[in-house]
Amino acid sequence: MRYETVRRVTNVASLAFCGLLAATAVLPLVLVLYHVVRNGASALNLDFFTKLPVPIGESGGGMANALVGSLLLIGAASLVGVPVGVIAGFFLARQLSGRFAFWVRFAADVLSGVPSIVVGVVAYELIVVPMKGFSALSGALALALIMIPTVVRTTEEMVKLVPYTLYEAALAVGAPEWRATVFVFLRGARAGIITGIMLAMARIAGETAPLLFTAFNNQFWSVSLTQPISSLPVQIFNYAMSPYDEWHRLAWAACLVLVVLVLGMSVITRMVTRGKYEIIQ
Amino acid sequence: MVSEAFRGWRAGDGVVDPAGHTMAAEEVAGAETDVLAPPTDPEVCVGFRAFGVRYGDFEALKEVQLDIRRGHITAFMGPSGCGKSTLLRSINRMNDTIPSARFTGQVYLDGEPIYVPGVNIIRLRKRVGMVFQKPNPFPASIFENVAWGARVHGLYKGHALFEHVEKCLARAGLWDEVKDKLKLNAMSLSGGQQQRLCIARALAVEPEILLMDEPCSALDPIATYRIEELMRSLVPDYTVIIVTHNIQQAARVSDYCAFFWVDENRCGRLVESGPTAQLFEAPKDERTERYLAGRMG
Ligand SMILES: Nc1ncnc2c1ncn2[C@@H]1O[C@H](COP(=O)(O)OP(=O)(O)OP(=O)(O)O)[C@@H](O)[C@H]1O
Ligand SMILES: [Mg+2]
């Protein structure tokens, strides 16, 4: 009897302790959401999505250009980063040994550890300088470079999870190797690869540093790849550093939009791919 | 012709492997004149001729001389590691996917050698279907599992494809159970159903031969019984070769048996082969007798 009481108390205490730790881990997220919503919601209106920034002193205006710029940058970066990342990851998964595979894997690991501002400086040196000007293109390529390692490694891990006997089965019905590979591994790993891509996109959506001296910023409407382009993170940076209350409010609103964008991407990924994981394993 | 066929191939790319060649040449010198002669009996579907397989330096199987009869079930039996799977996978050249595998001798399929350069492996595998030990349906719908192979070979399209899938599923005794859920993921089926789906998938490319490597070892007795029944229904339309560790199963389903053993170098050897009844009642070799008695008694 006594022993049971001790056990019960221990149980409750450990549970409470775990709960406390879990709450501590979630606390930052709650704080971020709370402040962003509290400060951003009031500044958020239709103008934010439809209007361009207005000069200092005038009130109103929005961030239509930054929103579209961000989407354009993410899209262009994915256009480059996803095919490169998926193909490289596929190669790594199917080519387990070999010197070349080793170096590709090593490069992906190193690249994922390179600070994003360094990537921005490199993109500046390699693209902005020769092109003689800031451009959306240079920003997108910098973001693509940041995205590639994530896509490579998730693709590799997901393709490796697909059982080899499925590949053998595809060969055994007389499929050519390339067709068996594409069918079995791409289909088997699809959900996981999509998750990896979405996570990588969510990550670059908030990147600021590599854009500061590549895509730069643009107060006007622009969807040209060769012109400087505005983006939400850079706009937030500029507005938050300014001394104007009006701009601070807009920066909060932009934060809210960015957080919802990133959160929405994660949630949608979870929903789309839930259950499909179980099928693979 | 003989020496040509006797080279060791790094199969798949048609490059003659020098090591294999040397080894083969030695054996040719000591061999009887026509251990490599193709089978003349049209009833013989697969003929192994002085066939051997090595994985790198390890000789897994050698000097297999065996004829497999068309339209019957042949069972490969023997202790673990004696090369049954290796021999089975040589018929559709699945061992080609193992980089260290080298082959000597020859395998004839309907009188044509298959270990020669220029053999169309895709067509070979279309003629020789395979079912694996663990049910391994594709991570796709039930329909797609069966249809895919047919589509790869461009066999049917549109409605004809649907009818073909139905026919194969019916042939595998699965149609009634899945006809309402063809779009469902194949992983949602039970193990026995999955294995029958794999048989339907193999049948879908219209093979002549069906290789089965311990197809029931992951199944319960009732599912096993259904697969055995199914196998019986596949002959004489198909030639079936099955690897099994289950002696009763071999006795129940097979018409012919081949018994393998490992020699002192752990190399697999064919001990004897013949009609199942004959092999079970009057085994010629002492090892066969002991193996059959030991497991049965
Ligand atoms: N990929 C491989 N690489 C190296 N050796 C192999 C390979 N596959 C099989 N072997 C070896 O070849 C021999 C025969 O293997 P095989 O799988 O054909 O035996 P088996 O008779 O099917 O055995 P079991 O009844 O356990 O399935 C074994 O000694 C095994 O270790
Ligand atoms: Mg085996």
The predicted structure's pLDDT at residue A96: 67
Same domain, A9 and A33: yes
Q: Do B134 and A165 touch (CB under 8 A)?
A: yes
- Which residues are found with C-beta within 5 Å of the ion, ligand 2? B 85
Same domain, A213 and A98: yes
Assess A277–B contact: CB distance below 8 Å, yes or no: no
CA of A172 to the centre of ligand 1 (A): 19
Give CA–CA dist B292/B297, Å, rounded: 8
Tokens of A81: 């980063």
The predicted structure's pLDDT at residue B18: 37
CA triplet A86, A89, A94: central angle to 5 degrees? 125
For residue B214, which atom of ligand 1 is closest to its CA? 27
Query: Per residue in A180-191, pLDDT tens?
Result: 998 999 888 888
For residue B95, which atom of ligand 1 is closest to its CA? 1
Which position has the higher pLDDT, A55 or B170? B170
The predicted structure's pLDDT at residue B41: 87
List the beta bridge partners of residue B58: B55
B81 lines ligand 1 (CB under 6 A): yes
B55 lines ligand 1 (CB under 6 A): yes
Query: Per residue in B191-202, pLDDT tens?
Result: 999 999 999 999
Query: Per residue in A202-219, pLDDT tens?
Result: 989 989 999 988 888 888
Do residues B114 and B19 touch, judged by C-beta distance below 8 A?
Answer: no
Residue A143 domain flag = yes
Average pLDDT over residues A124-140: 90
The total number of structural domains in chain A stands at: 2
Instruction: Express as a percent the part of chain A with pLDDT over 90.
Output: 47
Is the ipTM here above 0.95?
Answer: no
Same domain, A13 and A141: no
The predicted structure's pLDDT at residue A221: 84
Residue A103 domain flag = yes
Same domain, A71 and A170: yes
Least confident of A44-58, B109-123, B179-193: A44-58
Same domain, A238 and A127: yes
Residue A128 gets which letter from DSSP? I
Residue A70 domain flag = yes
Give CA–CA dist B84/B66, Å, rounded: 13
CA of B213 to the centre of ligand 2 (A): 7
Same domain, A56 and A28: no
- Domains observed in chain B: 4-292 (3.40.50.300)
Range of A30's domain? Answer: 2-43
Same domain, A156 and A191: yes
Which amino acid would we find at residue A66?
A: A
Same domain, A152 and A234: yes
Residue A279 domain flag = no
Indicate the average pLDDT of chain B.
Answer: 86
Q: Do A173 and B152 touch (CB under 8 A)?
A: yes
Same domain, A264 and A240: yes
Chain B residues touching A169 at Cβ < 8 A: 130, 132, 136-138, 198, 201
Tokens of B213: 């490597």
Tokens of B243: 């690897």
Chain A residue with CA closest to B139: the answer is A188
B60 lines ligand 1 (CB under 6 A): yes
Chain B residue with CA closest to A278: the answer is B187
The predicted structure's pLDDT at residue B7: 38
B52 lines ligand 1 (CB under 6 A): no
Residue A281 domain flag = no
Q: Do B136 and A166 touch (CB under 8 A)?
A: yes
Assess A279–B contact: CB distance below 8 Å, yes or no: yes
For residue B98, which atom of ligand 1 is closest to its CA? 1
Same domain, A17 and A72: no
The predicted structure's pLDDT at residue B64: 93
Residue A278 domain flag = no
Query: Per residue in A98-107, pLDDT tens?
Result: 788 888 889 9
Chain A residues touching B129 at Cβ < 8 A: 172-173
Q: Tell me, what CATH number does A247's domain have?
A: 1.10.3720.10
Residue A161 domain flag = yes
| Closest to A78 measured CA to CA, from A169, A203, A173 | A203
Q: Please report which confidence band the pLDDT of residue A60 belongs to, taking 50, 70 and 90 as the band edges.
A: confident
CA of B85 to the centre of ligand 1 (A): 7
Same domain, A174 and A37: no
B84 lines ligand 1 (CB under 6 A): yes
Tell me the CA distances in angstroms from B103 to A152, A171, A190, B65, B86, one per residue in order. 37, 20, 37, 14, 11
CB-based burial label for B13 (10 Å; 0-12, 13-18, 19+): exposed
Residue A280 domain flag = no
Q: Do A187 and B138 touch (CB under 8 A)?
A: yes
Same domain, A125 and A241: yes
Give CA–CA dist A234/A213, Å, rounded: 10
Q: Do A279 and B149 touch (CB under 8 A)?
A: no
Query: Per residue in B78-135, pLDDT tens?
Result: 999 999 999 999 999 999 989 899 999 999 999 999 999 989 999 999 999 999 999 9
Would the pLDDT of A262 be above 80? yes
